[in-house]
Structure 1
């Protein structure tokens, strides 16, 4: 996780958020991912990294 400062992180939704906890579905929406295989450029911050770590089974990071 040694990124350059202010370099965005790309997150991809690789699994549909149907079965997970309702709180995890809200976290997926907070990242701006709506459909399967959606890709978003996200600001690399501790908050975003925390959401991605929480959703490790739904979201993949493409750096």
Structure 2
């Protein structure tokens, strides 16, 4: 059984955003614009991605 992963790219700056949104980016491992991280497709990660959907781009790997 293979684990599904998501490729998440930060597209907008975190400065001036809500503290909860900044913490979601940190939880996903994102700190810089155009940084790409691969995260496991879990409900927890999906929730963080949905909260900051306007700041990230997501692709299934």
Give the alignment's TM-score, normalised by structure 1.
0.87
**Residue 11 of structure 1: CA displacement?**
0.3
Q: Which has the larger share of strand? A: 2
User: How many residues were matched structurally?
Assistant: 59
Give the alignment's TM-score, normalised by structure 2.
0.89
- Counterpart position of 2:16: 19
CA RMSD of superposed structures (Å): 1.0
Q: Is it true that 1:32 corresponds to 2:32 in the alignment?
A: no
- Counterpart position of 2:56: 59
**Residue 44 of structure 1: CA displacement?**
0.4
